[in-house]
Structure formats: structure tokens, C-alpha cells
Homo-oligomer: A and B are copies of this chain.
Amino acid sequence: MPTSPTVQLVDRYPTRSAGSGSMRRTDPTVWGAPETPALATFAHDGYAVFDALLSEAEVATLSAEVTRLTEEPELRLDDRVIIEQSSNQVRSIFEVHKLSPLIAELTRENRIAGLAREVLGSEVYLHQTRVNYLPGFGAAGFYWHSDFETWHAEDGMPAPRAVSLSIALTDNFPYNGSLMVMPGSHRTFVGCAGATPTDHYRESLREQRIGVPTERELTRLAREHGIAQFTGPAGSALLFDSNIMHGSSNNITPFPRSNIFLVFNSVENELVAPFAGPAPRPTYIASRDFTPLR
């Protein structure tokens, strides 16, 4: 019997189908041989903190750039700009490296993209970029999730060979909704229940409903791994594995949070068709231009 010439890509991380459970991650976390000292524990913890990735002057320049973008009247009509319904404020701007030459330049710097190359052991490209502005006085947080679960299901990312870099433009305190991670949870892939509805991304950017781990699984992970919070002054940054379990509380303080969020994927991990979704998400959320960042 002749074999089919079509290569069938095996789904090694099943999710959003009956019986999707938790499983041990089968891919490495670190694919290269990082020389940056802060990356020494990345394979074990699934994240690393960089205390002063940007200088104060750079924070000031980039903050002004973000403010400029959020105040651009034309951009408010752009699909890439997410407006919070209740306040009518800009909350996120996607594909920000295409809207701001300043941020495009930043992403290419070796102290930024180089970190991703060290961890992923290959050339990298930008899977997603955005800036987030979360005001105080009650801004909603994000419930627990693994980014890779979404990127795998909805974007067709084959393996968790991607990292995210969150660069703080404001101070992160323990009490203003700063990111929480479960250290070591990246070694478990938590398959989630529920099928992905069409155009799920429109809803999920505001509030996550599908792709949510069970309370039972979150309890198990939190008891095993505990919870760490990313706190630090503006200019500090958190690099984290695509599969780490993370979330954030709401922020009732008067101290807003703003950050630049960059997702680097390995060029050896190009997207295919979604593994559990009707159609790929728009390219401003999940790029299909796999040209290496130089």
C-alpha cells in the first residue's frame, strides 16, 4: 500500500478536545547554550528576570512613544488597537513594531532578540508584539493560562519553542496586578476542555474563557510549584517560556501598569494550520512572516 505523500504532522500537545488532559512536556525548554548569567535557571524555572534591561532614559523615550500611539486618533479605528469597552481607553496595540520604528529597532537589539536566540538555540522571528496599558482603579487582570496552549490550538504553533519578553514601562508592585507565574509549570502541558469558537480571539483578548485550565489542575500546579510575582521598577523585564502557567489579579491601586510585550518564536518552529481552531487568527496577532529578525 503506497504511503501518502502528505506529511501528517502529529499533534504532540492535544487540547480542546474530549479527554485533553495534562501531560509532561516532551520538548526542551532551552535549546541553545545560554551564556547570559540570568538565563542559568531558565530551563528549571521557565522564566528569568532582568533588573534593568532598559535605562531610565530609554523608559522615558519609549513611554512617550506609547503615549503618542494611544493618542493617535486614526489608530483607534485600527483592528490592531484594543479598546476597553467600559472606559473607552486603549488597552493594547498589536503589531506595534510595525507602527513604531523606535520599537522595531528595540526588538532587533542583541540584548533583546539575543536573549531569545540564546534560549531557543536558533534564529528567531516575532510571533506577536504589543504594548499594553492597564490603568488602575479596577483594571481587570488575566486568568491563569499557558500562552502556548492558545498559540498551538489557534495559531498552529507546533512546539513550545517560543519565549515572551515583557518589558515594564511602569513600576510593578506586588499589589498592582503584576504578572504571576508558577515556576516550573512550563514542564507540564495542560490540555484544556472546550472547542474553539469562530473568531474566538475577539473575545479572548478581553477575557479568557476557552483554553482555561481546570481548578483541579491549577490547584495541583500551585501546590507543586508555588507562585512567583514579577515585581520591579520600570525598565526591568521578564523573559518567560511560552508554556508557563501565568495570570494576573485586577489592579485597584492608582498605579497603572504599562509594558512592551514581545513574543519570539524559533524559525525552526514555523506555524502550520491550527491544531484546535477553525481558522488561523489574524497575522497581527500571530505573524506568518517567518523571516529571521536581524
Contacts and interface: CB of A to CB of B under 8 A. Distances in A.
Interface of A: 136-138, 141, 143-144, 173-175, 177, 180, 215, 218-219, 222-223, 227, 229, 247-255
B180 A253 contact: yes
Contacts of A227: 173, 175, 253
Contact of A254 (B218, B250, B251, B252): B218
Dominant secondary structure of chain A at its interface with chain B = loop
A180 B174 CA distance: 11
Contacts of A218: 137, 254
9 contacts: A137-B218, A141-B249, A174-B174, A175-B229, A180-B253, A218-B254, A247-B252, A249-B250, A249-B252
Contacts of A222: 253-255
Closest 5 CB pairs of A and B: A174-B174, A219-B254, A249-B249, A222-B254, A250-B250
A248 B218 CA distance: 22
B252 A143 contact: yes
Nearest to A229: B175
A215 B135 CA distance: 11
Nearest to A249: B249
A247 B215 CA distance: 26
A144 B251 CA distance: 11
A254 to B, nearest CB: 4
Given A175-B227, A180-B175, A252 B141 contact: yes
Contact of A177 (B180, B249, B251): B249
A21 to B, nearest CB: 18
Most chain B CB within 10 A, of A141, A227, A251, is at: A227
Contacts of A254: 215, 218-219, 222-223
Given A215-B254, A254-B222, A249 B137 contact: no
A23 B248 CA distance: 35
B173 A215 contact: no
A251 B248 CA distance: 9
Given A137-B215, A175-B249, A218-B254, 14 more contacts: A137-B218, A141-B249, A173-B227, A174-B175, A174-B229, A175-B227, A215-B254, A219-B254, A222-B255, A227-B253, A247-B252, A249-B250, A249-B251, A249-B252
